Amino acid sequence: MPPFFKRHHRKGDGRELILYGLSPLEEAPLPEGEEAFHAAPHLRYHPLRGEWVVYAAHRQERTFLPPKEHCPLCPSREGAFPTEIPFTRFQVAVFENRFPALVASPPPPPAGLPVPAEAARGRCEVVVYTPLHTGSLATLSEEERLLLAWVWRERYQALYSLPGVRFVMPFENRGEAVGVTLHHPHGQIYAYPFVPPILERESAAFRERPVLQELFPRLEAYWIDQEEGFLAFVPPFARYPYEVWLAPWERHPGPWTFSDEEMAAFARLLGRVVARYDALFGEPFPYVMAFHAAPLGEEATFHFHVEFYPPKRTQDKLKFLAGTELGAGTFVVDALPEETAKRLREVL
Amino acid sequence: MPPFFKRHHRKGDGRELILYGLSPLEEAPLPEGEEAFHAAPHLRYHPLRGEWVVYAAHRQERTFLPPKEHCPLCPSREGAFPTEIPFTRFQVAVFENRFPALVASPPPPPAGLPVPAEAARGRCEVVVYTPLHTGSLATLSEEERLLLAWVWRERYQALYSLPGVRFVMPFENRGEAVGVTLHHPHGQIYAYPFVPPILERESAAFRERPVLQELFPRLEAYWIDQEEGFLAFVPPFARYPYEVWLAPWERHPGPWTFSDEEMAAFARLLGRVVARYDALFGEPFPYVMAFHAAPLGEEATFHFHVEFYPPKRTQDKLKFLAGTELGAGTFVVDALPEETAKRLREVL
């Protein structure tokens, strides 16, 4: 592990903020906003799909501390309206989401609901990749991206150690096409008190067979990039035109078992996948990126991988999820994975 | 069953067109376009999610017969560019989709794929609700809407009798927010050669317990409208802010077991749900509507219902599906079903 510095800070409204840096983090905090933090989510059970739905009505009031023209994820500036981060010198910042779907001390669910309900226990974090307002996983320096990978790893360990957490998922929503209005480079982490449905299915598949390891030798037409020990490819069963997966050749339950060299290769390849995306249409490419690591108890068979779902099917056309995808769960795809893989392979 | 007339027609490119009307359908067809119909979809298996994905690369060329300013779903006019329907007098028209995901005689799948593949056998139909270019399920006359309900019922029976079909789903994508560019009132029907994942889960739930019948007596705070024998409600576990379900109180596997009176009540309530949606923001309300009838073999326990998924959370804000929904399968909802139900109940 490369040396990095870490500093815990309790924000004015009680939320935790953690700074990570390559040099000491010792400055005094700037003044903070004084709004109270209030979140009362709960879970309800969907009896036909067999899954939990999270209700977070407080999110309707989603506003941000600073006025619209200021980015809440930028470092605060002396004398200016406070942002989420009352510090100026750090590399990566992680803080508890102001409008969380899951919280450490949720209220009990409403009584008398017609379906089973539970407290929405867990944690939602925001991960600010850089103090700079513009950029992406592709434009971070190699050193910054490696630190970010170590931060994810550290958060995996911290969040899986919370009582009741069964699945931890770092993810990134990027671009207005997936609903993002904050352009500052950032991702999120959810720590769930249950294994979400997609992870349940993946876990069941991995318990039966080493699906990815069986697939790897057959991906000649599908790979787009690689690094020592890691492969990026369009899955031959992609559900989005430019879907990309990134995985280690050897089975790891999550980044927490990577060697130092594997951490570096992982970070480099992640950056190059995003660079390939951005080169495709010569503009920032929107996507949802989700890390799939082993849910609690699945460490012996689950194979960590990253899935990117881009909403674009051409530069100016979106793939909408509609009747067959949302109503039946069956995706219809216009583009062949062999062809999108070729395009992404040749674009850099 | 009310008397209605039906006429089969083979289009110039070989696709089937069926007209339905309340009076005889005897006019001579107008001239048709002469483009060749070509569709070569195939299925691939997603080994981690355990589901089929449909590849329909020919859909990339999606264009429509008529120039952009003409609606392809309107009746053709003498001397004008031909539309999909070379007739002018009918109430409802059903034809095979020009860019289908599933077809009666698919080619074999490509050889040598790294995952299991199958021919994409099935059928995709377009259902034109009315010859008029504007309108909706809400604005059809009672007589027209009832005929449409009988057409769905007739298509269920026709499509479930095709060899290899295991699930038939009428659905409607409405509005640009769900990707629809044709505004002519219409829906679609897919006849799948497998049971899609969401229907597999619902079937398993119904095999265990009569989920909906257990729920109905507890929906006081959730109902929005009703008709003799039918209830429209926001499910207490809604995954979209204004999600609405419509179901018969008694268990029916599909509309094909409704009495004549039940058909009429079903059609009326469907129209009123859409009228309520349109009244909500005083403008056509976008949605995906999916009919969930019993997949083949599930007739003894499956309870037919209609699910509406609207993408709006307020008049001008969309609910985007992002990290937690697409990456984990867990929905986070800002609005409480009790509150959206109240709004939809009181809006008319």
Number of neighbours of residue A62 by Cβ within 10 angstroms? 12
Q: Which of B9, B46, B183, B186 is catalytic?
A: B186
B186 classed as catalytic: yes
Q: Which of B70-74, B212-216, B218-222, B298-302 has the lowest mean pLDDT?
A: B70-74
Q: Shortest CA distance to A186 belongs to which of A36, A84, A305, A318?
A: A84
The response to whether B46 counts as a known ligand-binding position is: no
Q: Is the pLDDT of residue B65 over 70?
A: no
Name every chain B residue with its beta carbon within 8 A of the beta carbon of A204: 50
- Could you give the count of Cα atoms lying within 13 Å of B82 in the half-sphere of its Cβ? 15
Query: Which residues of chain B make contact with A113, given a CB cutoff of 8 A?
Result: 236
- Whether the predicted pLDDT of A33 surpasses 90: no
pLDDT for B244 beyond 60: yes
At residue A65 the predicted structure's pLDDT band, cuts being 50, 70 and 90, is low
B133 is in an annotated binding site: yes
Q: How far apart are CA A335 and CA A68, in angstroms?
A: 39
Query: CB-CB: which of A53, A215, A330 is closest to B237?
Result: A53
Strand duo B312-314 + A117-119: pairing: unpaired
Element (DSSP H or E) covering residue B223? strand B223-227
Contact A45 B239 (CB under 8 A): no
- Give the closest residue to A152 by CA, choosing from A271, A255, A22: A255
Q: Do B54 and A332 touch (CB under 8 A)?
A: yes
Name the architecture of domain A195-347. 2-Layer Sandwich (3.30)
Task: Provide the pLDDT for residue A96.
Answer: 97
Confidence at residue B78, expressed as pLDDT on a 0 to 100 scale:
86
Cβ separation of A330 and B192 shorter than 8 Å?
Answer: yes
Kindly report the nearest CA distance between residue B6 and chain A, in angstroms: 27
Using alpha carbons only, give the angle A301, A303, A305 rounded to the nearest 5 degrees: 160
Residues of B in contact with A292 (CB under 8 A): 327
* Confidence at residue A31, expressed as pLDDT on a 0 to 100 scale: 86
- pLDDT computed for residue A80 by the predictor: 84
Residue B243, amino acid: E
Tokens coding A336: 């062949």
**Binding-site residues of A for Zn(2+), please?**
71, 74, 133, 184
**Residue B70 pLDDT > 90:** no
pLDDT above 60 (res A208): yes
**Residue B54: what pLDDT?**
98
Cα dihedral: A191, A193, A195, A197 (round 10) = -90
The pLDDT of residue A259 is above 70: yes
Chain A residues inside the 8 Å CB shell of B222: 114
Q: Which residue has the tokens 């216009």?
A: A334
* CB proximity list for A90: less than 8 A, separation 6 or greater: A7, A19, A20, A21, A25, A75, A131
Ranges of H-type helices in chain B: 142-160, 197-208, 211-215, 260-280, 337-346
Residue at token pair 């001390």: A105
Q: What is the CATH number of domain A1-194?
A: 3.30.428.10
CA B158 to chain centre: 16
CA–CA min distance B287, chain A (Å): 9
Tokens read off for B276: 């309520």
Measure CB to CB from residue B328 to each of A115, A290, A322 and give the nearest one: A290
How distant is the Cα of A243 from the closest Cα of chain B, in angstroms? 12
Interface-testing mutation among B330, B339, B340, with chain A (most A C-beta atoms within 10 A):
B330
pLDDT of residue A66: 63
In this prediction, residue A94 carries a pLDDT of 98
Which of A81-90, A126-135, B173-182 shows the highest mean pLDDT?
A: A126-135
Indicate yes or no: CB of B323 within 8 angstroms of CB of A237: no
**Residue A198 pLDDT:** 98
SS (H, E, C) B241-287: CCCEEEEECCCCCCHHHCCHHHHHHHHHHHHHHHHHHHHHCCCCCCE
* Contact (CB<8Å) A59/B238: no
Cβ distance B192 to A113 less than 8 Å, yes or no, reads no
Within 10 angstroms of residue A13's Cβ, the number of other Cβ atoms is 15
DSSP assignment string, A268-306: HHHHHHHHHHHHHTTSPPPEEEEEEPPPTT-TTT---EE
User: A236, B332: Cβ pair inside 8 Å?
Assistant: no
| Amino acid B36: pLDDT | 76
Is B38 annotated as ligand-binding?
A: no
Lowest pLDDT segment from A16-25, A125-134, B29-38, B309-318: B29-38
* pLDDT score recorded for residue A204: 98
Start-to-end CA span in chain A (Å) = 30
Q: Does the distance separating the beta carbons of B205 and A50 come in below 8 Å?
A: yes
DSSP string, A135-195: --TTTS-HHHHHHHHHHHHHHHHHHHTSTT--EEEEEEEESGGGT----SSEEEEEEESS-
Task: Tell me the binding residues of A.
Answer: 71, 74, 133, 184
Residue A178 binned pLDDT confidence (cut-offs 50, 70, 90): very high
Distance between CA atoms of residues B289 and B244, nearest Å = 9
Among A54-63, A185-194, B27-36, the minimum mean pLDDT is found in: A54-63
- B328 to A219: CB separation less than 8 angstroms, yes or no: no
Which of the four pLDDT bands, split at 50, 70 and 90, describes residue A81? confident
CA distance A83 to chain B (A): 24
Total residues found in chain B within this entry: 348
d(Cα B305, Cα B246) in Å, to the nearest integer?
Answer: 6
- Residues on chain B touching A56 (C-beta within 8 angstroms): 332-334
- Say yes or no to pLDDT of A64 above 80: no
Q: Model confidence over A42-60: pLDDT tens digits?
A: 999 999 999 999 999 877 6
- Calculate the average pLDDT of chain A: 94
Distances (CA, A) of A62 to A56, A98, A99, B334: 11, 8, 7, 10
What does the DSSP assignment read for B102-153?
SBSSPPPPPTT-SS-EEE-BSEEEEEE--SSSS--TTTS-HHHHHHHHHHHH
Residue A237 has its nearest CB partner, among B46, B326, B333, at B46
- pLDDT value at residue A3: 79
Of A199, A222, A324, the CB nearest to B190: A324
Q: Which residue of B has its CA nearest to A99?
A: B334
> Quick check: B123 pLDDT over 80?
yes
H/E segment holding residue A344: helix A337-346
On whether B74 is known to bind a ligand per the annotation, the reply is: yes
| A1-194 and A195-347: identical CATH topology | yes
What's the pLDDT band for B81 if we cut at 50, 70, 90?
Answer: confident
Helix, coil or strand: residue A253: coil
pLDDT for residue B60: 62
Buried b (16+ CB within 10 A) or exposed e, B103-130: beebeebeeebbbebebbbbbbbbbbbb
Q: Is the pLDDT of residue B62 over 70?
A: no
pLDDT at B64 over 60: no
d(CA B56, CA A170): 32
Tokens of B83: 């539309």
Q: Closest Cα of chain A to B54: distance in Å?
A: 5
Domain residue spans of chain B: 1-194, 195-347
Taking only the tens place, the pLDDT of each residue in B85-97 is 999 999 999 999 9
Of B199, B320, B335, the CB nearest to A60: B335
Q: Are A132 and A73 in contact (CB under 8 A)?
A: no
A9-18, A42-51, A78-87, A103-112: lowest mean pLDDT where? A78-87
For residue B176, count CB atoms less than 10 angstroms from its CB and return exposed for 0-12, middle for 13-18, buried for 19 or more.
exposed
Work out whether the CA dihedral B151, B154, B158, B160 comes out positive or negative: positive
Residue tagged active-site, from A42, A186, A252, A305: A186
Contacts of A169 (CB under 8 A, 6+ apart): A189, A190, A192, A196, A290, A291, A292, A293, B323, B324, B327, B328
pLDDT value of residue B3: 80
> A328 vs B222: CB contact, 8 Å cut-off?
no
Given this model, what pLDDT does residue A104 score?
Answer: 95
Chain B residues in contact with A317 by the CB 8 A cut-off are: none
The residue type of B133 is H
What are the CA-CA distances from residue A306 to residues A136, A239, A297 (Å)? 17, 15, 19
Q: Give which of A57, A278, A211, A47 is closest to B335, Cα–Cα.
A: A57
What are the φ and ψ backbone dihedral angles of B279, each rounded to 5 degrees?
Answer: -75, -20
Helix, strand, or coil here: B314?
Answer: strand
- Structure tokens belonging to residue B275: 């009228």
Contacts of B173 in chain A (CB under 8 A): 320, 322-323
Q: Shortest Cα distance from B136 to chain A (angstroms)? A: 17
Please report residues of A whose CB lies closer than 8 A to that of B292.
327
Is residue B58 very low, low, confident or very high in pLDDT (cuts 50, 70, 90)? Answer: confident
Q: Which residue has the tokens 């355990």?
A: B50
pLDDT of residue A312: 94
